[in-house]
Amino acid sequence: MKCIIPCAGESSRMLHIPKHLVQVAGKPLITHIIDAWKDSVDSFIFILKRSSSYMWEYLPENSAVVFQDEPKGLADAILRAEPYVDGRFMVALGDCIYEGTFEEKAFGLGVGVWKTKDAKEIRKNYLVGISVYNGLINNFTEKPEVELPWGNCGMGIYFLDSRIFSYIRRYEGSRGGGDFTFILKTMIDNGEEIHPVYFHGHYINVGSPEDLEKAEGILSKEVETSEEGKT
């Protein structure tokens, strides 16, 4: 299985420092993402800007590079990797830190889900609705106003297959934030079964300098265990 890592986004909230090279626990952020999956996948596909030459030295040997020079969103980035994948693959966003384990299960399509009472983190990502009848994902709410005590936080981890590409090509909305969530909802509406792949541990979408301290804590295992829910 191949792992697609999109790294062509803007870094405006990081004061225009390349987000993927920000140091977290003594290593660039992108290195932590690679280390998290290098023993689980056959190879990596990185989505970069042509101007991102500073990234090349951090990429492992078993990598391919695809270019996305214009900020057209996550869906467009994934579509650009289509010639390099066959069948099942995964997507790991290049700005998410996690320490823990995913439940192993057989599935076709899946989304990483972290059960948490961290409402702020859910608002930065999206709320995942899960059917109580068949255990499948039935809805996604982008950057919601959520009620405590618990919620299902959609992570930047996706387990996909080649079906996704036709849905991306048919998408007619605006490109950018939320486009991929809308496409996943469209797949559900069309009868595709998307499974929650539950994660046990700690997670953060690193979007600002303020997130770096928490990311350091996650990787050094100094975060409060009360932030994590149990599935």
Residues 125-180 pLDDT 10s: 899 999 989 999 999 998 887 666 679 999 999 999 999 999 999 998 777 777 89
Question: DSSP state, 104?
Answer: P
pLDDT at 91: 96
Interstrand relation of 96-102 and 194-205 (parallel, antiparallel or unpaired): antiparallel
pLDDT at 12: 57
* Residue 218 clears pLDDT 90, i.e. is over it: no
The 10 Å Cβ neighbour count of residue 166 is: 9
Domains and CATH numbers, the chain: 2-227 (3.90.550.10)
Closest CA to 6 of 68, 87, 86, 82: 68
Instruction: Give pTM, 2 decimals.
Output: 0.89
Using CA of residue 184, residue 159, residue 86, residue 175, what is the dihedral sign?
Answer: positive
* Residue 229 clears pLDDT 50, i.e. is over it: no
Question: pLDDT > 70: what percent of the chain?
Answer: 89
Quote the tokens at residue 21.
């090279």
